[in-house]
Amino acid sequence: MADSITMTGTAHAPTAPGDHLAQVCEKKVSELEEAVLPGTYERAKERLSRPEFMVQLAVKRLMDIVGSAILILILAPVLITTALWVKFSSKGPMFFSQKRWGLDESRFDCLKFRSMHTEQDKIISKHKVSDLQNKGILLKDENDPRVTAVGRVIRKTSIDELPQLFNVLFGHMSLVGPRPLVTYMLDPFHELRRVRCMMRPGITGLWQIYDRENNQSALQMQPYDLRYVQEFNLLLDLKLLLKTPGEVLRGAGAH
């Protein structure tokens, strides 16, 4: 969208090229509401405190350590090549880190390959972004003008998320779990945050497999996140891990 000034007797500020995305993202989540039933947190906590699930959680962590370490070694050529590609294709650092909600409502630095231009204020106004963030809405769209040419490729293939394997190795994340959300996406939803943060966030999970296209709000992920926390077991994790490669190749919602 080109910059424009509408003259109707009163001067208006120029419209940044990507500001229309704010309206699109807000419309998608305008009718959603937090729907955590009373007692959900207490019931999930009691279930996960049972000996059989404590053992499964310990095994899950062991799988995370071994699995992430093996994947880092296997994918080292891809990690190195992508890092150099990002660095030399556009101005800015190779990696991007951002505070996300973690286990027990802790916060950690989530790692990704940088996929956006560094000078975003020229593309989408700070006011538009801030307004959405205050409502817990993520400004994200398939045609986001902030994304670089290389960024579109690594997002479509999910390569931009490979550095999160280090988050898994260090214990901030898991291979399977709720999506690691930026802090402002959960700030308005206290009860949902409490339940979600009973498990480490994951690189893959129920929402990532079944509804990845809807990613502007935590409320869109709510049914999948609540189900995962309440129904967690290692067999479910294994099923989701096996489905992940196919979903990555399909690329739905990856932008």
Q: Rounded mean pLDDT of the chain?
A: 84
pLDDT digits (tens, 9 = 90+) for 5-33: 333 444 444 455 555 545 545 555 555 67
The pLDDT confidence band at residue 136, using thresholds 50, 70 and 90, is confident
**Long-range Cβ pairs for the range 74-78 (8 Å, 24+):** 75/162, 75/165, 78/159, 78/162
pLDDT digits (tens, 9 = 90+) for 77-117: 999 999 999 999 988 899 999 999 999 999 999 999 999 88
Round to whole Å and give the CA distance between 106 and 101: 6
Q: Evaluate the CA torsion angle 187, 188, 191, 193 in order and state its sign.
A: negative
Provide CB contacts within 8 A for 246, sequence distance 6+: none
Round to whole Å and give the CA distance between 176 and 68: 11
Q: Could you tell me which residues are beta bridge partners of residue 176?
A: 204
pTM: 0.82
* CA torsion, ordered 46, 51, 52, 57, to nearest 10 deg: 80
How remote is the C-alpha of 141 from its chain's centroid?
A: 13
How remote is the C-alpha of 72 from its chain's centroid?
A: 20
Between residues 67 and 219, the one the model is more confident about: 67
